Every structure is written in C-alpha cells, then in structure tokens.
Homo-oligomer: A and B are copies of this chain.
Amino acid sequence: MIPAPFLLYLGHSTDFIGIKTSRGLAAFRPDDCVGEFRHDDCPLTLGLPRMTIAQGAAAGAKTLVLGIANSGGTLGRDLVDDAVAGLGAGMHIAAGLHHRLRDEPQLAALAKAKGLQLFDVRDPPADLRVGTGYARAGHRLLTVGTDCSVGKMYATLALTQGLRRRGIVADFRATGQTGILIAGGGIPIDAVVADFISGGIEQLAPERNDDGWDLIEGQGSLFHPSFAGVSTGLLHGAQPEALVLCHDPARTHMRGIPGRALPDLEECLSANLHVARLTSPAVRAVGVCLNTSSLDADAARALCARFEDRLGLPCTDPMAFGVEPILDELLCLEPSARGTTASR
C-alpha cells in the first residue's frame, strides 16, 4: 500500500482532463490529501491548499503523487526534476505512467540512498494468464464509454457506493492508475501485454458466489482508434451482466485525436452490447452516465431527459444527480432473467 497522506501533483498541466489522477484522489480520498503542488504556469486547482514540495512534506505528506496522465505515459524532464525534489524532501513518489519511475536512474539511485519507495502503479501483475471466456458465477457490471476520460471511473465508484448504501455487497474493480490509487489495488489493464487483456480482467473479477457485485471500471472506447483493443478485451474479460454507457456531452472530438467525431450514443451502446455478447450472451444496458459539469443544472437535467427518451434507459450525472435510477434498473430484473444470470 502507498503511504498516505498525499501531496497531489499538478505540475505545469493546463489540461483539466490530464490531471485526472490527482483530481480523482482529491474527490474520492479527500481525507488523505494534504494539498496540491503546481507550478506558476498551471492555471488548474483541485481546491486544496497550494503547497511547495517542502511545505507538503512539512504538512505531513508521506507520498508525492504524480497524478497526471498524458497519452503514451511518458516521464518528462520536469516530472523527473520535481520527483527528485520530492525525494529530497523525504517523500515517497507514486506515478501511473507507462514510463516507470524505477527506470529513471536518477530517481532509482536517490530513492535507494534515502530509503524511500517509488510506486509504479501501472505495473501489471507478472502472473497473468490468457482469458478463456468460460461462463463464471457472479454479478458483474462494466462501464463503457463514447471516449476516454468521460467519467467511467466516477460512474463505477458512484454505482459501487450506491449499491452498498442499499445493503448490497459491492466491490469496485479498478483498471486504471487513478482507480488503483483510490482503491488501493487493481490491474492497470492498458499496461498489460496485449495477449492478456481479457485474462487480466478474468483475474481481477473472478467467479463469486456471494450474490454480491463486481463493478468494473471501463477503459477507452470501442470507437477510439488508439485504445479500442483494450476496450474489446475488457468487455470479453468482464463478461458483464450489465453495461453502463458513459459520455461527456462537452467533448468536441475523440480525446487526443482532433478531427475525429465521437460516436452516436445508440451506435456506441449497440456496438458494446454486440462485442460483450461473445462471452455474456444475456448482457443488457442499464443506464447512461453523463458528465454534465459544463452545463447548468437545468440544461443538465434536460439533456439527461433527452437521452432517456432516445435510449429508453435511465440517464443521470452520477456526481450531480446520483445513480439511483440506474440502480433501480440494474436490480429490477425479471425473475427469469435473474435466474439465468445466477446460473451462468
């Protein structure tokens, strides 16, 4: 486990989506975050006290979390310099980039000299097996998206908390760096060797017989030309009983691919159900989650109502309006359908 509390790193970021790991920790583990570190050219804030590296350490932060994500997961010079400063102030360093902290000789040497740890959250387990697609017991829900970074993790966490509030056993299964930092465990599915995508998810959410739910964090999108392979393997490995589609109505193009339009929601949902049926023939959609943070409340509610009409499914913003309608849809299964599912 990564020692808390954390100093959350924003660095030079100017991209609200790019700081999603720091933001996720601030949102879901607020009591473990003492402050945020950002350079003067960073216009973003998490609403936490702004601290220098030294101030963060003095405030009790045990770990500096480099909670920023960039496409390709590279570790730039500025990140290395700031990580050196963090180690110098006596903090462990955590990051979830493809480029590993431990592969940076300066960081590896300094951490060793100071008796501090480098946590590479995107390290997959070494003992993964290939998936089989064989039917396994248990209730599983997977979030899918029209694009990357549209709120799949938030929706999954909100659904997990919602089920628990109803007295139902529910576990969040993290598949990305932010989710893993929040949950304290998981498999960074975009970092596993390609042959093991579905197998990794079968391992992350194995058979369960307690009538509880695994809520699996989706990644990427079937319609994203960079990452659809990951999304496909995730669908097959998850073998989901239920899908929730996530979407950001403010997104003007696929993340990182200017000029590429987002898919239509019906088409996206249909494609996800089609792919999921390979290993879960009875899969069904139970709701749509929108990230309406760019809209006022009235416009947000109107948009949710419009998608409900169009798709015939409950539609909500999990952060603004909660997830109760989706939980109702999820749990109000026909008796016959429930029996079929449980016997799988």
Residue numbers of A with Cβ under 8 A of B are: 71-73, 98, 129-134, 189-195, 197-199, 222-223, 225-234, 236, 256-257, 259-260, 275, 278-279
Contact = CB atoms under 8 A, between A and B. Distances in A.
Among all A-B residue pairs, the 3 with the closest Cβ atoms: A133-B225, A229-B233, A197-B229
Given A73-B195, A193-B192, A193-B193, A132 B233 contact: no
A130 B194 CA distance: 13
Contacts of A131: 225-226
A278 B194 contact: no
Given A226-B132, A226-B199, A193 B279 contact: no
Contact of A72 (B130, B194, B233, B236): B130
Contacts of A236: 225, 228-229
Contact of A229 (B198, B226, B260): B198
Given A198-B228, A226-B198, A230-B229, A260 B133 contact: yes
A344 to B, nearest CB: 14
Nearest to A71: B130
B278 A223 contact: yes
A20 to B, nearest CB: 16
The majority secondary structure among interface residues of chain A is: loop
B193 A257 contact: no
Contacts of A229: 194, 197-198, 229-234, 236
A279 to B, nearest CB: 5
Contacts of A257: 132-134
A130 B256 CA distance: 10
A26 to B, nearest CB: 25
A129 B154 CA distance: 27
Contacts of A193: 98, 190-194
A168 B84 CA distance: 55
A124 to B, nearest CB: 9
Nearest to A195: B190
Contact of A230 (B72, B132, B194, B275): B194
Nearest to A191: B193
Given A132-B226, A193-B194, A228-B275, 5 more contacts: A133-B225, A190-B193, A191-B194, A193-B193, A222-B232
Nearest to A190: B195
A130 B226 contact: yes
Contacts of A195: 72-73, 98, 190-191, 226-227, 230
A6 B198 CA distance: 35
Contacts of A232: 222, 228-229, 231-233
A86 B191 CA distance: 34
Contact of A132 (B192, B198, B225, B279): B225
A225 B194 contact: no
Contacts of A278: 223, 225, 228
21 contacts: A72-B129, A72-B130, A72-B195, A98-B193, A98-B195, A131-B225, A132-B256, A133-B257, A191-B194, A192-B194, A197-B230, A198-B225, A198-B226, A198-B227, A198-B228, A222-B232, A225-B279, A228-B232, A229-B234, A230-B233, A232-B232
